[in-house]
Chains A and B, each alone.
Chain A
């Protein structure tokens, strides 16, 4: 266990924010979960007793008849905003006094940094470069993430859970978002920050970075496994595999969604449904491709004269 190596990574000034963000994120997940649980319990009670549902104020916070439903912004909100600004300023001051921003040697195109890492918030995408060609990891994925986020309000047809924390009423939506945000985005950043060393090789936390380590890894392409040699056959084969993934995957997902989310299924239009399925399958496609690489050393699935997937 090389503690010094671990400390060097975690205490690199530009990595401190991500080190700090992990507990912060854990705290906010806890805060959200606590409120979702309270609301879900209340929903359960109200559903069990229609009489109570008629009179209850329907929040998990106390309310008594006679209390005003609204409060003045001044002072009740503005004092909190002021306090928040003070606290953020103090944190920022203390942080800036105790930790200095990094400044390396002057830029030098002839002296390559190894590893050359982007700032931590982009390391999820940089990690994807291991598994995908740059046009996918660097261009298509960011575009799909942005579009995917933008379509969320238009494909989530569930009218429940607007304006309060809940888990019971939105299991699918929240589950999918957590998968995308925590599993795909945050954990890839953590891998990119803490695990990847020189040559973008995998070094476990506490393992010493060895700048001379070479890994002899022979990657194969999927068509080779099937003994397909001609370029045209490879292109057609790849198209069938990728298309097949979306078709078969879509069929399985359809079966599950229809069964476990019948109300959403009924509400969604064909367009909404196909967009959701596309993004869902593409998201699941990432770990699928990673698995192909890690377990079977497969580099490309689909090889064409113009691009490889």
Chain B
């Protein structure tokens, strides 16, 4: 066929075939020579993954142990940049902060994680809530562990917040310029307790039901806004329009109270608390980092106002 076509009118076509042939030959040749060379290169390259484009796109600087890189490791990481690069040498002593703020925050993360997992199994309705907890306890793989961890982390968080506040007070860390952050902290304390309280009702068992009944019964007595509170009558408060009604979505602890509890517990309060935590951490940095351990000051050095 090739001979035939050599002088044919379809010279072009014939030339094409020639070229294709030559091209294929070249390709085969290149596979033989280039591929092994490239493969060798690739292996060389993979021996040092820190040089790959993927790696350098993720990590923005080298990690060899130089002071500069140690600092960059903290500063260029979105999660770690809450921290400064360097801190007071004594501030890392456990005995000063007791690590309680950090532990509180860690427990909050654990609670978010276990809480979201619990939400996969829980329906906030009178028919299902209690059964869902039974189901979690007996059938869901690790369900019992999950529920226990959520419960105990919540209790631990209350303890940790109190201890954190206690140490902040004892070290005088609320003094200028940290007055505002102390106030954010007080709000966080309140929201931590409210989180625990709203969660208490969710298993829909006797324990939660009566605790919440006792708790919200006090709201009846709110001055001005409760129907049994001082001056409540004068403002036209009844069991069907006072603050307690607003909290429970009814005049008794029932389906609406369960739903409201659930929404406050899983959405409302966590969002508010998260925002407050962001502000809290931001202010710790802006107020000059942890307050101490600072050099002691003497009475004689206080500048008395005139």
Contact = CB atoms under 8 A, between A and B. Distances in A.
Contact of B89 (A25, A53, A68, A263): A68
A227 interface: no
A47 B210 CA distance: 58
Interface stretch (A100-108, A209-217, A289-297): A100-108
Contacts of A135: 218, 221-223, 226, 228-230
A163 B93 contact: no
A116 B213 contact: yes
Nearest to B254: A109
A105 B203 CA distance: 10
B15 interface: no
B302 interface: yes
A226 interface: no
A177 interface: yes
B170 A139 contact: no
Interface string B77-113: 0001001111111111111101100110011001000
Interface of A, helix, strand, loop or mixed by DSSP: helix
B204 A107 contact: yes
Interface residues of B, number: 105
B145 interface: yes
Interface string B47-73: 000000000000000000001001101
A96 B226 CA distance: 40
Given A116-B213, A160-B302, A267-B304, 5 more contacts: A42-B296, A102-B207, A135-B222, A135-B223, A153-B178
B217 interface: yes
A228 interface: no
Nearest to B165: A149
B299 A169 contact: yes
B174 interface: yes
B206 interface: yes
Interface of B: 67, 70-71, 73-74, 80, 83-96, 98-99, 102-103, 106-107, 110, 130, 133-134, 137, 144-145, 147-149, 151-153, 155-156, 158-159, 163, 165-167, 169-176, 178-179, 182-183, 186, 189-190, 193, 196-197, 200, 203-211, 213-215, 217-223, 226, 228-231, 252-253, 291-300, 302, 304-305
Query: Interface majority SS on B: helix, strand, loop or mixed?
Result: helix
A65 B83 CA distance: 26
Nearest to A156: B175
A85 B110 CA distance: 10
A155 to B, nearest CB: 10
Contacts of B190: 146
A107 B148 contact: no
6 contacts: A28-B167, A46-B298, A72-B85, A96-B148, A101-B148, A133-B221
Contacts of A32: 167, 170
B218 A134 contact: yes
A119 B172 contact: no
Contacts of B291: 162-163
Contacts of A109: 209, 252-253
Nearest to B303: A159
